Amino acid sequence: MLFTSYKYAVFVALAFCAYYLAARLSRGRRLQNLALLFLSFGFYALWDLRWCLLLGGVIVSGFLGGALLERALARRRLILLGVLLVDLGCLGAFKYFGFFAESFSALLRSAGLHADWVTLNLVLPVGISYYVFQNLSYVIDVYRRDMPATRGVVEYATALSFFPQLLAGPITRPRDLLPQLFQHRAFDDARARDGLRQVLWGLTKKMLIADNIGAQVDYAWGNISRLDGVSLVTAAILYSIQIYCDFSGYADIAIGTAKLFNLRLSKNFDYPYFSVSVRMFWRRWHITLASWMRDYVYIPLGGSRVGAWRQAFNLLATFILVGLWHGADWTFLVWGSLHGSYLVVESRLRSRGPPTGSERWRPTAGVVAGVVVFVLVTFAWVFFRAPSLASAFEYLAQVVRVPFGAIDYARYAPTLGLSAALLIYEWFTRRWEHGLSLERFPMPVRWGAYLAICMALLLFANLGGRQGIYVQF
């Protein structure tokens, strides 16, 4: 059930009614949370009923692990290790087994051996990377005594299974969501209306911009040898906009939906393409994953409190894991390594000059820095988008080999214009919580904008046509 399908709208409407009916029937929060838990598992079951067993197992491992860590005075590290092995074992089995099994099968086939028994063809459960990381953050926080273990099994299960964040995050940590679930939540009219606006803005970015751009990007990757360098570079730029609108659109829909239930999910994007450094980019792109990796990988490795070479290793190791989080493929490994390398070079430049990660730039220098960062990020996206390393290198080689050709460049004008319009609009609205925070404007202006967007969605969007890019992770 994709966020862009009419089925999701119907589900949210029914869940909304059931949720507030439960709130009305009960003065406490327990029935309300039970309703939300039942609805969330029902949502997941609509994808695949078997995945609910996996989600339930992860929830049990985290809740019991936290309870044991709270009571144990000794062997706490052993308990933590047990939860890590269980959760990361589940994640590895579903997400990475196929990659290693296929590689091993290819090796055996090259030796003339039959190896079909190696491949299990495991299907990757939707959202597994998100709720496993949420679960691990809770257990590690309890282990560090940064938060007490919760005694509310219903609340904990609801925090991990809350349906808007199941598909593509954000990775809202239990320490942020649990306190909200221990409160009775009455309907908040202002927050609900803002949630609907944010959902509409997310649909705009995903269905009107990302999906229309996606068709041209797919064409470019399917016809690399027929296109020239200008066309391929243009497609790479368009993909940068596509993945941003696709992923941030899904995040807006998730956060907006949560507001309908008077719950707050973590912010996941903060206008990343206006960054003047790669460091700033990662403070604004997929914020919940970047902060998770910082707190549970980079800082425990020593962070920046060590020597230059060790810091470089910490950065590279962290971003290699960021790449592998997206999937077991050499393309993701190269993408993560590129960003890690960018940050290593940037940290060395920062140590020898003014702070490149700050906002203190002269206007011209800031524009130049922003363009450089966008180019570096776009180059890395080529590997992220490529179906294989061979395709990525073929793509880059074709750019150099045939820089210009007899191609109809006008075909890119509509999507380039749409992308430019989005960036200009976001520049002027960068202080807003989201692109449709229009409550300060008169009612005719607000409703004129809402109706125009709804008409555009009906005319130019395909309901449920394209799955979100980050749903597969």
Q: Active-site positions?
A: 326
What does the alpha-carbon distance between residue 36 and residue 15 come to, in Å, rounded to a whole number?
Answer: 8
Judge contact between 44 and 52, C-beta under 8 A: yes
Number of Cβ within 10 Å of residue 49's Cβ equals 11
Judge contact between 136 and 174, C-beta under 8 A: no
What does the alpha-carbon distance between residue 342 and residue 340 come to, in Å, rounded to a whole number?
Answer: 5
Residues 6+ apart with CB under 8 A from 390: none
Q: Is the peptide bond before 355 cis (omega within 30 degrees of 0)?
A: no
What does the alpha-carbon distance between residue 247 and residue 210 come to, in Å, rounded to a whole number?
Answer: 9
State how far Cα 47 lies from the chain centre.
19
What does the alpha-carbon distance between residue 71 and residue 2 come to, in Å, rounded to a whole number?
Answer: 41
What does the alpha-carbon distance between residue 249 and residue 468 come to, in Å, rounded to a whole number?
Answer: 9
What does the alpha-carbon distance between residue 308 and residue 417 come to, in Å, rounded to a whole number?
Answer: 43
Residues 6+ apart with CB under 8 A from 86: 57, 61
From the list 409, 403, 412, 407, the residue with the least C-alpha distance to 229 is 403
Residues 6+ apart with CB under 8 A from 147: 138, 141, 175
Q: Which helix (H) or strand (E) holds 434?
A: none
DSSP-assigned states of every residue in 317-335:
HHHHHHHHHH-SSHHHHHH
> Sign (positive/negative) of CA torsion 144, 147, 148, 150?
negative
Q: How many CA atoms lie within 13 A of 127 on its CB side?
A: 32
What does the alpha-carbon distance between residue 21 and residue 264 come to, in Å, rounded to a whole number?
Answer: 20
The terminus-to-terminus CA distance of the chain in angstroms comes to 16
Number of Cβ within 10 Å of residue 391's Cβ equals 16
Judge contact between 2 and 8, C-beta under 8 A: yes
State how far Cα 328 lies from the chain centre.
17
Three-state DSSP state, 440: coil
